């Protein structure tokens, strides 16, 4: 597995402990919390009552607590939002400063780490956990481990140290959004942001905040735009650059790395074979990639 690489991810980890941790979280997020065990991680989101994006995170179990692996710098905000619904629940919320997150990616990484090649497959790893990325197995695995143990752990990994750019090219090419870099707080909806294909919504669980609007969006076909991976031919446009088709704005560039980007595009613009709908951003040709 000589092509496998690892990088440290700058993430905001939140710990939820206490007897009522599952009950509280179950009524708040888009994922079924009861499915999260020491052998299964997951991915979900916290929404507004109107079904708009607030936070997204991977969810894993370490010992007697749930870990929300969310966006760097937004952990305290997520805790405060959860606390609004805590009431008398026996729950302890804290920023998990003592843990670090790593991505390990490349061919056959899950098998090398003793995991099945299925999204969310997990197992204890020392005093932490390792799991296949629940959004897409092609993203490799994540380690969440005590920061004090990382030096010893990393020397034992069947991988070499990579660069953030390596991981970004992989993530973007798979159309996987990265928090507020790609999604708009209190504006984006889950189905526009690939949450269904990334295993981020459980359609069979009970109610959660924003559930009614999310379900209505799916079953009435109300999605009008999508986050998609695109290739760039020409000078790389900056994040936020408008995408045009025949002089009309049809989308916007979000995350960018090298010659790929994530773009928010109107569905009626997603036809790369139509020459009359060629897409451009600041002069560069933009081509949607196959999912």
Average pLDDT over residues 73-86: 97
Confidence class of residue 222 from pLDDT cuts 50, 70 and 90?
Answer: confident
Whether pLDDT at 199 is above 70: yes
Q: Of 104, 134, 163, which residue sits at a domain end?
A: 163
pTM given for the model: 0.94
The half-sphere exposure of 76 on its side-chain side, counting CA atoms within 13 A, is 1
Whether residues 32 and 94 share a domain: the answer is yes
Cβ density class 244-265: b for 16+ within 10 Å, e for less: bbeeeebbbbbbbbeebbbbbb
Whether residues 141 and 224 share a domain: the answer is no
The alpha carbons of the chain give a radius of gyration, in whole angstroms, of: 19
Using CA atoms, how far apart are residues 42 and 235, in angstroms rounded to an integer? 37
Whether pLDDT at 291 is above 70: no
Whether pLDDT at 43 is above 70: yes
Q: What's the total number of domains in the chain?
A: 2
Whether pLDDT at 290 is above 80: no
CATH number for 82 = 3.30.1360.120
Q: Pick the closest to residue 259 from 241, 279, 285 (CA basis).
A: 285
Structural domain range at position 253: 179-288
Using CA atoms, how far apart are residues 286 and 289, in angstroms rounded to an integer? 9
In the block, residue with structure tokens 């990325």: 133
Q: What is the pLDDT of residues 137-189, one digit of tens each?
A: 999 999 999 999 998 888 888 899 999 999 999 999 999 999 999 999 999 99
Confidence class of residue 1 from pLDDT cuts 50, 70 and 90?
Answer: very low
In a domain, 263, yes or no: yes
H-assigned helices in 140-231: 150-156, 164-173, 211-219
Whether residues 192 and 283 share a domain: the answer is yes
The half-sphere exposure of 118 on its side-chain side, counting CA atoms within 13 A, is 7
Whether residues 265 and 212 share a domain: the answer is yes
Q: What is the pLDDT of residues 84-126, one digit of tens each?
A: 999 999 999 999 999 999 999 999 999 999 999 999 999 999 9
In a domain, 205, yes or no: yes
- Tell me which of 244 and 271 has the higher pLDDT: 244
In a domain, 49, yes or no: yes
- The pLDDT value recorded for residue 81 is 97
Q: Residue 171: what are its φ and ψ, rounded to 5°?
A: -60, -50
């Amino acid at each position: 597995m000589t092509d496998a690489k690892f990088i440290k991810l700058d993430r905001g980890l939140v710990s939820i402990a206490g007897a009522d941790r599952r009950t509280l979280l179950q009524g708040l997020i888009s994922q079924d919390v009861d499915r999260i065990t020491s052998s299964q991680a997951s991915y979900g989101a916290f929404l507004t009552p109107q079904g708009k994006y607030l936070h997204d995170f991977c969810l894993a179990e370490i010992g007697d607590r749930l870990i929300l692996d969310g966006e760097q710098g937004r952990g305290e905000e997520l805790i405060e939002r959860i606390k609004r619904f805590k009431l008398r629940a026996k729950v302890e919320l804290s920023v998990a400063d003592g843990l670090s997150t790593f991505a390990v990616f490349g061919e056959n990484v899950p098998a090398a780490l003793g995991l099945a090649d299925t999204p969310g497959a997990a197992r204890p790893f020392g005093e932490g956990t390792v799991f296949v990325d629940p959004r897409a197995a092609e993203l490799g695995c994540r380690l969440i481990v005590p920061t004090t143990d990382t030096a010893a752990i990393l020397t034992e990994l069947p991988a070499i140290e990579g660069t953030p750019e390596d991981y970004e090219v992989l993530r973007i090419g798979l159309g996987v959004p990265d928090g507020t870099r790609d999604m708009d707080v209190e504006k984006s909806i889950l189905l526009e942001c690939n949450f269904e294909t990334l295993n981020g919504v459980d359609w069979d669980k009970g109610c959660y905040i924003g559930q009614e609007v999310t379900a209505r969006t799916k079953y009435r076909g109300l999605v009008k735009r999508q986050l998609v991976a695109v290739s760039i031919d020409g000078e790389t446009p900056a994040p936020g650059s408008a995408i045009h088709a025949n002089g009309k704005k049809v989308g916007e560039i979000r995350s960018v790395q090298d010659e790929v980007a994530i773009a928010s595009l109107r569905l009626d613009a997603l036809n790369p074979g139509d020459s009359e709908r060629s897409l451009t951003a600041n002069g560069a040709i933009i081509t949607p990639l196959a999912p």
